[in-house]
Amino acid sequence: MSQNSTDAITEKVMRALAAEMPVRPATIAGANAAKLVRILRPAGLAPQKVPRIQQISRELLRRHDGDLAYLFELPTARAREELMDLPGIGPKTADVWLSLVAGRPTMPVDTHIARLAHRWRLVRTSRYEGVTAKLRDLIPPGRRARGHLVLIQFGRDVCQARRPRCERCPVYNLCDAKVKRKRFADTKFSMG
């Protein structure tokens, strides 16, 4: 639901969905697709998301009678595999669920966090597994869920993709933006 959507919009859409029907696999699987698209439209990509959400709901019903409680009993790695075995669930979504719902010490990485890791020269890889492994090394298990949320917010508010607010950044000296901006300023100056 949250893919390509802000947290505020996702929360609003989830409230609207809950007002229309119980948010359970059986209800979602059997819901009218056009109605779901209408409800989920503000979150973006609703025509693409609805079939996937319904497919996941049907699969959860088929495999586990719609109950995810068994995942709480599994070791983290096994629970992650089970989640990723569902259609459309990748490593990030599995890690987010495990962290924020199940309280496991995963370290989900979204585009904001990956950008920070690169700008702060923590990683050279763009692969999800490489970035999350490095951050798991740096952030203690009990702080990863909060770290995930704080880093996302920092990436949205300060270290934005196109217009980073470097003047507000408390870790500017660790960042590659300083080098890039100097090169850009030198190039611009020499051209003028």
Q: Is 130 left (phi over 0), alpha (psi -120 to 50) or beta?
A: alpha
Q: Give the pLDDT score at 180.
A: 62
Say yes or no: 115 and 44 in one domain: no
The answer to whether position 90 is within a domain reads no
Q: Output DSSP code: residue 171.
A: T
The answer to whether position 172 is within a domain reads yes
Indicate the residue among 67, 85, 103 that finishes a domain.
67
Q: Give the pLDDT score at 40.
A: 95
The answer to whether position 47 is within a domain reads yes
pTM: 0.84
Q: Give the pLDDT score at 178.
A: 64
Please, are residues 42 and 4 in contact by the beta-carbon 8 Å criterion? no
Say yes or no: 170 and 118 in one domain: yes
Say yes or no: 118 and 174 in one domain: yes
150 phi/psi in degrees, rounded to 5 = -65, -45
CATH number at residue 173: 1.10.1670.10
Give the residue numbers spanning the domain of 13.
7-67
Q: Give the pLDDT score at 39.
A: 96
Say yes or no: 121 and 174 in one domain: yes
Among candidate residues 182, 108, 92, the one with its CA nearest the CA of residue 145: 108
92 is catalytic: yes
The answer to whether position 97 is within a domain reads no
Could you give the CA distance from residue 81 to residue 106 in angstroms, rounded to a whole number?
A: 13
Say yes or no: 61 and 118 in one domain: no
Separation in Å, CA 54 to CA 23, 33, 37, 88, 135: 11, 8, 11, 11, 33
Say yes or no: 122 and 181 in one domain: yes
Question: What is Dmax (Cα atoms) for the chain?
Answer: 68
Could you give the CA distance from residue 72 to residue 82 in angstroms, rounded to a whole number?
A: 11
Could you give the CA distance from residue 71 to residue 124 in angstroms, rounded to a whole number?
A: 33
The tally of domains found in the chain comes to 2
pLDDT tens for the chain, 192 residues long, are: 777 777 789 899 999 999 999 999 999 999 999 999 999 999 999 999 999 999 999 999 999 999 999 999 999 999 999 999 999 899 999 999 999 999 999 999 999 999 999 999 899 998 999 999 999 999 999 999 999 999 999 999 999 988 899 889 998 887 887 676 665 444 433 322
148 phi/psi in degrees, rounded to 5 = -55, -50
- Number of Cβ within a 10 Å radius of residue 116: 23
The answer to whether position 30 is within a domain reads yes
* Candidate list 110, 134, 157, 182, residue with the active-site label: 110
* Candidate list 92, 137, 178, 180, residue with the active-site label: 92
The answer to whether position 85 is within a domain reads no
Q: Give the pLDDT score at 176.
A: 80
In the structure encoding, which two tokens stand for residue 181, read together? 């901006």
110 is catalytic: yes
The answer to whether position 121 is within a domain reads yes
Say yes or no: 115 and 187 in one domain: yes
String of DSSP letters for 35-101 = HHHHHHGGGS-HHHHHHHHHHHHHHHHHHHTT--GGGGGS-HHHHHHHHHTSTT--HHHHHHIIIII
Indicate the residue among 67, 85, 101 that finishes a domain.
67
The answer to whether position 127 is within a domain reads yes
